[in-house]
Each structure stands twice: as structure tokens, then as C-alpha cells.
Structure 1
Amino acid sequence: MMKKISFFLLLFPTVLFAQINTDRVMAIARNALYFEDYVLSIQYFNQVINAKPYLYEPYFYRGLAKIQLDDFQGAENDCDEAIQRNPFVVGAYQIRGLARIRQNKYDEAIDDYKIALKYAPENITLWHNLTLCHLQKKDYEGAEDDLGKLLAIAPRYTRGYLMRGEVALRQQDTIRALKDFDKAIELDRYDADTWASRAMVRLQQGQYAEAETDLDRATHLNNKNAAHYINRALARFHQNNLRGAMTDYDIALEVEPNNFIGHYNRGLLRAQVGDDNRAIEDFDFVLKIEPDNMMATFNRGLLKAQTGDYRGAVSDYTTVINEYPNFLAGYYHRADARRKMGDRRGADADELTVMNIQLDKRAGVSTNTSSTNKDLADNTDDEETDEDGKTRKKSDKNMNNYRKIVIADSSEAEQRYTSDYRGRVQDRNVNVKLEPMYVLSYYEKLSDVKRIVHYHKYIDDLNRSRALPERLRITNAESPLTEEQVQKHFAMIDTHSGAIVTDERNAVKRFARALDFYLVQDFSSSVDDLTQVILLDDTFYPAYFMRALVRCKQLEYQRAEELQNTTATIGGATKTEVNAMDYDIVKSDLNKVINLAPDFVYAYYNRGNLLTMLKDYRAAIVDYDKAIQLNPDFAEAYFNRGLTHIYLGNNKQGITDLSKAGELGIVSAYNIIKRFTEQ
């Protein structure tokens, strides 16, 4: 009954603000934030703010949640409030700086990072973002000064060398840029960006074979970056490898289907090899993105004429001529198309126009009919094309360059680094990591690649009994709750609390409330309920399974808090010790699940994950072996067993397992295989 009353106060904070346990609500809110349940975390932070508006922490963390939801103005406002209450919190300046960057307020962001660096002069993230702000403002001297200090603090920081190389490139100093990119490769040869950056210099220098080799490495390490394939296509094009270039454009468009340059250039190359119909498809796509792109319109007209669609060709030519009335090639090709469709009078008129324009040009007479008409046929800008005249910048509107391959404008190319701002205080390791543990939940993220419904007879029978309000799913792809779902589960906790009062011995009803508490990230209450379920029915294995999972998440969060306290970037957190005994309790629950349900494959898998976290790799492999024995198509078990073998130094066995995981739908396995396979 007490639990019902205490949660009533959480649900209705307008009743008695001061009486809620703000420390507990704050802990739940930060827990939700850590596990990326941003909408839910904001609601909890709101409760703390309403109860104790003088605290800085709920404003700061609410701002952090808002920035993850792209509410940059809201994040900035919350950081303002946090700084007003405590002007010495480094993280508040860091997050406000990031929010300001996303609103193009670079000067204000620079001010924030400079203040933060007074309190944390060795914070690499602050120096990184400050440098990128100066790059955005084209303050190269300021950026170089930042990088000098950054690399003095962290001489092995690869991104620092990449950024310094970018600064040198923008100052046309390719020799210095190449030196920095070489250094970045020396420090981290497994970072695709290091190879891609050096490739860009070599493309500028005309060293196309060398650029292709570097881009081979970049695509080998990261096959999800369309720009790598676009750039390698350019290197191959300059070496007259048209088929290879088209293959790269094909792959780039699989990765990024709406890539303008990919479609435009593939259309040109398809036209060159006579694949006219598919070239038309590419230009159709380009014109959906940019309906007023006259070069794409003209190229499509040429292709329509090639395929016998003279009426369609004339329509495209006319569109271009209306925009550029002195474009000779437009009249010439329209005349040809008109003649082929039997319109001799129209063809003669176009040929006469061509002759008059040519005569006027020789006589030095302007042929513009209106001040609003564009005449870019004569607007040749040497800076828009490369030395051999095979390419043009995307922004080049000179119609005479309609056959040239498109390359990104300088402003677009510069985004390679300026989009790499860093700001999440709770950033976790984004390198190689295990597939997550399995959980019992009502919600699951949908995957375009994997569409497996996980099954166990006991869970299916539980669902058929309709003892729970919704269908229980076995998943390791949890979905954050929407605002409506959050309110729904708050209400369900109250409903279940009432049901428990009238039927205290019903284990399933208490289990249902435990799931609600888990979904709203109140892990302590969830564990309490799960413990009560086990006391009521010690054979109900889902309670042991979920209690192990919830406790493991609590420990993960506590370890993250310890790490954050160690780095001391943000004050106000209470240090929590995590020791091996805490994990033994989790392991004990999983052991009990296996004793009660030896065919429940997910218990072996979760225990394998736990053992891997504890670096007991050989025992973990035994559990993954058992999981795979029970389910030979268990992709995540193959993936995690593969990583565990690699941790033990057994790369060959690890790569075999990762290959199987990739075959079963975990596409990230292929990137890891590339990382651990030498060319």
C-alpha cells in the first residue's frame, strides 16, 4: 500500500511538490537519460524542477536530454538556468556550446568553451569543439592555436591531426596537410577517416592511383560512408575505369539512396557506356531532388533523343532554352530532335537562331533579351573545374559543362570535420562492443534486416493466458517509450497497485507492476517487486530473469557514474562502489533460470554476456556454445562468441563466428571482421 501512495506522489507532483523524494526521482531520471529514454527522463526532471527549482542539476540534465531530441533552443535555455544556479559546472557550458553550435551561434559557443576551459584546461572534448567553431568561422589562425594546445595535452589524439590537416588544406598547404594525415594513419590505421583524409589530398594532387589505394582502405574499414565510394569513383574515373566508378556509385547509392552526386555522375557514366534507359532513371531522380537543375534536364533530353523519345527531348531542351536563351547546344539539339519528328519549320527556326547568335558574338553584339535572362554559356570560371576539364563543382552553372562529372563544392567538403562536434557527457565507448542482453518487454525496435520473433513456450503460454496487459516479447532491441506510453505505464502502475492490494498473493500481478516500473526506469522498485514475486512463487523463472537483467543495468549505470566521477567533469554526483559480489547476485539469478528452464536459451546468452563483462572469457564461451547448441541460428550468440574469441587472441575462430553473425543479419559484424583482418 505504501508503494502505491509513494508513486501517487510521483504521478501527481502538483499536489505536494516538496514531499516527493527528489533524490530518488533525480536518480531515476538520470538512469533514464543514460539508457537513452529521453522523453521519460525529461518528465522526471520536470518533477524535480517543480519541487526544488533552485537546483542546477535537473536543468542541466534536462538540457542534455533535449539536445538528444534536437531541441537546441530548449537545451540552451536549460543550460542558462543551470549556469545561473551554479556557474562552475563545466558540463553546462559544454552542452550549451553544443546547443549554440547547432543554431549557428559560433561566437557564443566559443565563449562557452573558453569559460569551460578555465575550469577544465585538459578537457579534450572542449578543445575539439572550440577548434571546429574556429574552422566554421574560417579563423584558421585561431583553429591552429587551439590544435597546438590540444595536441600538447593529447599528442596521440588522432582527430587533432586530422583537423590540423584540414586547416592546412583550407590554406592550400597540401604538403603540411599530408604530413598531418600521415601522422594520423601512423597513430590509428584502423580509423577509416585517416585514410579518406589523405586520399582527398592525393585527389587534389592528381595522384589518382594512390588516392584509390587509400580509399580502398577507407571502404574496407567503414562500408557505411557513401562519401568514400563517391571519392573512389572519382579516382577511378580519372584513370578511365568507368565500370569501376559506376560500381562505386552503385554502392554509394545503396548506402545513401538520395545522394545527388551519386545519381548525377552515374547517369553521365551510364550514358557514356550506352546504358541510356537507366541513365534517364538517374536524371529523373536528380530532377526530383532539384527540379530546376538545368544540366540534369539537358542531359535527360539528350538521352531521350537517343532512345527515340523526341517529343520528351524537345520538352527538356525547351525548358533549358527558356532559362538560358543563348545556349547554342540547346538550339542545335532541339533542331535535330524536331527534324527527326517531322517538325521542319521548328528545326529551321532553331538553326536560324544558332546562326544569328554566332553572328552576333562575332560582331560583339549582346544577345540577352532581358536583364533577368541568364547567359551562362559564356560564363566560364576556371576555378570551377579541374585542370584536365573532366569535372566541375556542384555549384557551377555554366551550361557548357553539362557533360562533366560533378564534385562537391568546397563548402560541402569542409563539413567532414565541422559536423564532428562532441557533446554527450555520458558518451560511451563506440568501438567494438557486445550485442545487448535479452529482456522481457512489451516493446521492441523494428529492424529492416532482422525480422526474427523470439519464442519460448512458457512465455507464449503466459501471453495466451492474458494475465499481462500486453503481449510479452523476448528482445534485445528495446524501444524507448513515447510520451503517451510513459503516461500509460504510470497509470498502469497505479492500476496494478490497486489490484495487488486486493490480491496480495498473486505473483503475476506483481510481476506486471515490476515490468511497468522497469519500463519507466524505476529499477529499484522493479527489483523490489520481482523479489516479492519470487517469494510468492519461486518457480516463476521470468522473475529471476528480469531481476538479473534489471540489476545488471543498475550496475552498468553505477559503473558509468564512477567513471564520470573519476573524470570530474561535472560535480554533484555521489560515488557508488561496484564490486564482484554485486555481479555474483546477478549470476545467481541466471543460474536459477537455467535450473528452472534449461531450454531457455536467453539465460545462457545473458550469463555469457555477464561473464564477458567480468573478463571470464572461457566460461562465457561455454555459455555461448550452449546457446548456439539450443538455437543454431542465434545471431547475437555467434557475434558475442566471436568477439570473446578475439578478446582471447583467437582471431581466426572469432572471425568465423562474426561471419556467421553477419550472415544471420548483424551487419556490423562485417566492419569488425575488416578491422581484424589484415589486407
Structure 2
Amino acid sequence: MPIARPSSARRAAARRLAGVLGSLALGCSAVGCDRFTDPHQRGEQALAAGDYQAARVAFGEAIAEDDHAAEAYANRGIANEALYNFDAAIADYTRALELFAADAPDRAEVLNNRGVAYLGLRKLEEAIADFDAAIEARSDYADAYANRGRAYNDREEFDRAIADFDKAIELNDALAQAYGNRALAYESQGDIDRAIPDYTKAIELSHDAQAYFNRGMLRYSRGCFNLAYQDFSEVVDRVDENEYVWYQANSQKQFLENRPKDADTCIGSEREADMAANRGGGADDGAAATPGDATAAPADDAGSGGADTGGGM
């Protein structure tokens, strides 16, 4: 039987788990820093340490000391967004934008982050409007182009998405998320020859587990079982077993352990690499199976539906 393309549910899961960007915390301004130095600095330190609850509390204290502290609202928005409190994050970003001057250099970052929060709520029109405004404020803002591309991906406007990812990469060729999300767009168009190299570049830049999983699924679809096995193994080794992508990858890895690793059906530019992986013992021989079985679809990743979190790649 022919090798199956990844199911629509599986593609949806890949799109959901490939994330978007948020900017770093904004520092308090030179003029206003002394107004709330202690709580704001504590908040920034907590953000840097990934303690988002502590950051949210600290920036709340900064706001209580001076309600016009735009930076504190913007940074509390980042903390709320990291905690998946998207409505609260949007409210904080909106208040920050009201307080910032129209020509303030930080407006682009706040618009970008509010757009990411809207993505978390699946409010794509609002997200795109914010990314448009961020790009208008700062035409070289690679993150905003990458994030707008993600929104176009979610609207299945893949040509527009790819154009935005191209621009983001032109501005910042080390932006892993742009490569990973462009790969999703190519995959959705059936262009596997372009999708796999983009996943590979994203992996080179970030070693992201989701990029490994997505590339593994495409390699499997081409009969590159040894390379797919390696990708699924990387996910299993890199992430906590409580994460859903671990469950997905472990299911595919176990399935491939029962496939013949010398089926020699790999097609495309990765054929020699797959054969080399087999010679190097990249996967166990596993249980015997007939060559005809080698083209069966991998284990289905049940439960791939659900809400889009807008989480980071």
C-alpha cells in the first residue's frame, strides 16, 4: 500500500505546537526608573528566571506605586502571557499602549506581544492588525513578520505566510521559529522538499523537540525510517514524558522498532543519509516484519485535537 501522508489531525497538532515569539522584558525608562526600582527589578529578575507568577506580583506592586508606569504594564503582560492568562495579558498591553507616547520606541514590542496573546485566543484578525501596526512602527522587526506569518498559517493563507517568513529570515537568519513555521506552510502545500530543510535549519538553531517530531513524520512519509526513528528518539531524549510531544514521539518510535530498518524505500535527497543511519545502527532491528508492512502508516497520535495555546517553539 502507498505510504500515507500525515493525517489532518496530525498536521493540526504540529501547527498548534509550533510556537510564536514574544519579546524580552522592557526595562524601566531612564526618567522613571527610580519611581519603582525595587519591584520592577524584582519583576525583571523573575522573568529572566522563568518565575512568571513572581514576576506578575512584582510588576503589580510597581503599578500600585505608579499607575502610569507603562513599562510595568507591558512587563506584567509578558508574565500573564507566559502563564496563559491571555485576556489579562491583552488588558495589560492595551494599558501600556495607552500610556506610551505615540512615538515611543517600545510600542512595536508591545504591539507584537499583544498580537501573540490574541493568537493564543485564536483571534486572528486582531493578531494580524497588531502585527501590521508593529511592522509599521518598525519596518525591520523580524519577530513581527514571523508572528504574522504564523497567523496567516492558521488562516491557511500559506503563500502570504511564506512571504512573511521569508522577510523575517531576511531580517534575522537565526530566527528558528520562522524556519519551523515556514516548514509548516510548505508541508501544508505538499512541498515536502522544502519543508524538511526548513525543519532541519530550525533544529540546527534551537534543537526544538517539535521540529524534530515534525521532521520525523515527513521522513517517515518518504520511507526514511532510520532517519525518522532518530528524530523521534531525539524528542524522547529531550523532553519530559509528561509533555504531549513526548507521547507522540514515543508512540512513533515504538512503532518503528517493529519495522524493518533496511526496507530501503527512502526517496528524495535524504536517501543516502537514511542508508548511512541504518549502517550505523541508528535503530534496533526490532521484530520481524514483511517488506510490505514497511509502508504502513505510523501509530496514530490519538487526541491531537484541542485548543491552540500559542506556546513557544
Where on the TM-score scale, by shorter chain, does this alignment land: which range?
A: 0.5 to 0.7
Equivalent residues in 2 for 1:231-246, closer than 5 Å = 231-246=214-229
1:424-443 deviations in whole A, cap 9, x for unaligned?
xxxxxxxxxxxxxxxxxxxx
Is contact 2:216–2:228 with CA below 8 Å preserved after alignment?
Answer: yes
In the alignment, is residue 157 of structure 1 matched against residue 141 of structure 2?
A: yes
1:184 counterpart (163, 168, 177):
168
Higher RCO (CA < 8 A, seq sep 6+): 2
Is contact 2:176–2:205 with CA below 8 Å preserved after alignment?
Answer: yes
Is contact 1:117–1:126 with CA below 8 Å preserved after alignment?
Answer: yes
Equivalent residues in 2 for 1:428-439, closer than 5 Å = none
Is contact 1:233–1:248 with CA below 8 Å preserved after alignment?
Answer: yes
What residue in structure 2 maps to residue 394 of structure 1? Answer: 301
What residue in structure 1 maps to residue 39 of structure 2? Answer: 59
Equivalent residues in 2 for 1:445-456, closer than 5 Å = none
- Residue 263 (structure 1) shift: 1.5
Structure 2: which 5+ runs fail to align? 1-33, 263-285, 290-294
- Once the two structures are aligned, what percentage of the paired residues are identical? 23
Residues 267 and 391 of structure 1, relative CA distance in 2, 3 Å threshold: closer
What residue in structure 1 maps to residue 205 of structure 2? Answer: 221
- Residue 148 (structure 1) shift: 0.7
What residue in structure 1 maps to residue 61 of structure 2? Answer: 81
What residue in structure 2 maps to residue 129 of structure 1? Answer: 113
- Residue 147 (structure 1) shift: 0.5
Is contact 2:255–2:298 with CA below 8 Å preserved after alignment?
Answer: no
- Residue 188 (structure 1) shift: 2.5
Residues 55 and 219 of structure 1, relative CA distance in 2, 3 Å threshold: closer
Aligned amino acid, residue 229 of structure 1: Y
Residues 99 and 201 of structure 1, relative CA distance in 2, 3 Å threshold: same
Distance 1:389 1:157 in 2: 44
Aligned amino acid, residue 394 of structure 1: D
Is contact 2:232–2:249 with CA below 8 Å preserved after alignment?
Answer: yes
Equivalent residues in 2 for 1:173-572, closer than 5 Å = 173-222=157-206, 224-256=207-239, 258=241, 259-273=246-260, 390=297, 394-396=301-303, 409=305, 411=307, 418-419=311-312
Distance 1:162 1:55 in 2: 35
What residue in structure 2 maps to residue 542 of structure 1? Answer: none
Distance 1:393 1:116 in 2: 45
Residues 271 and 128 of structure 1, relative CA distance in 2, 3 Å threshold: same
- Residue 186 (structure 1) shift: 2.5
Aligned amino acid, residue 40 of structure 2: F
Structure 1: which 5+ runs fail to align? 1-53, 276-302, 308-387, 397-407, 421-679
1:79-131 deviations in whole A, cap 9, x for unaligned?
33322221222221122222322443322221211121233354133122111
Residues 177 and 389 of structure 1, relative CA distance in 2, 3 Å threshold: farther
Residues 242 and 393 of structure 1, relative CA distance in 2, 3 Å threshold: closer
Is contact 2:251–2:299 with CA below 8 Å preserved after alignment?
Answer: no
Distance 1:174 1:266 in 2: 30
SS in 2 for 1:272: coil
Is contact 1:188–1:194 with CA below 8 Å preserved after alignment?
Answer: no
Is contact 2:252–2:299 with CA below 8 Å preserved after alignment?
Answer: no
SS in 1 for 2:258: helix
Is contact 1:394–1:409 with CA below 8 Å preserved after alignment?
Answer: no
Is contact 2:46–2:54 with CA below 8 Å preserved after alignment?
Answer: yes
Distance 2:142 2:89 in 1: 23
Is contact 1:208–1:239 with CA below 8 Å preserved after alignment?
Answer: no
- Residue 55 (structure 1) shift: 6.0
SS in 1 for 2:179: helix
Is contact 1:230–1:248 with CA below 8 Å preserved after alignment?
Answer: yes
Aligned amino acid, residue 233 of structure 1: G
Distance 1:391 1:122 in 2: 49
- Residue 167 (structure 1) shift: 0.8
| Farther off after superposition, 69-78 or 180-189 | 69-78
Is contact 2:252–2:298 with CA below 8 Å preserved after alignment?
Answer: no
1:329-369 deviations in whole A, cap 9, x for unaligned?
xxxxxxxxxxxxxxxxxxxxxxxxxxxxxxxxxxxxxxxxx
1:474-508 deviations in whole A, cap 9, x for unaligned?
xxxxxxxxxxxxxxxxxxxxxxxxxxxxxxxxxxx
Distance 1:161 1:410 in 2: 26
1:455-483 deviations in whole A, cap 9, x for unaligned?
xxxxxxxxxxxxxxxxxxxxxxxxxxxxx
Distance 1:127 1:175 in 2: 24
In the alignment, is residue 113 of structure 1 matched against residue 93 of structure 2?
A: yes
Query: If the length of structure 2 is used for normalisation, what is the TM-score?
Result: 0.67
1:216-259 deviations in whole A, cap 9, x for unaligned?
3333334x222222221111111111122112223333433642
Runs of 4+ aligned structure 1 residues displaced above 6 Å come to none
Query: If the length of structure 1 is used for normalisation, what is the TM-score?
Result: 0.33
| C-alpha RMSD over aligned residues | 3.2
Distance 2:58 2:176 in 1: 36
In the alignment, is residue 166 of structure 1 matched against residue 150 of structure 2?
A: yes
Distance 2:218 2:88 in 1: 40
Aligned amino acid, residue 92 of structure 1: A
Aligned amino acid, residue 134 of structure 1: Y
Is contact 1:79–1:93 with CA below 8 Å preserved after alignment?
Answer: yes
Greater Rg over alpha carbons, structure: 1
Distance 1:219 1:111 in 2: 34
What residue in structure 1 maps to residue 26 of structure 2? Answer: none
Distance 2:167 2:192 in 1: 21
Distance 2:56 2:112 in 1: 20
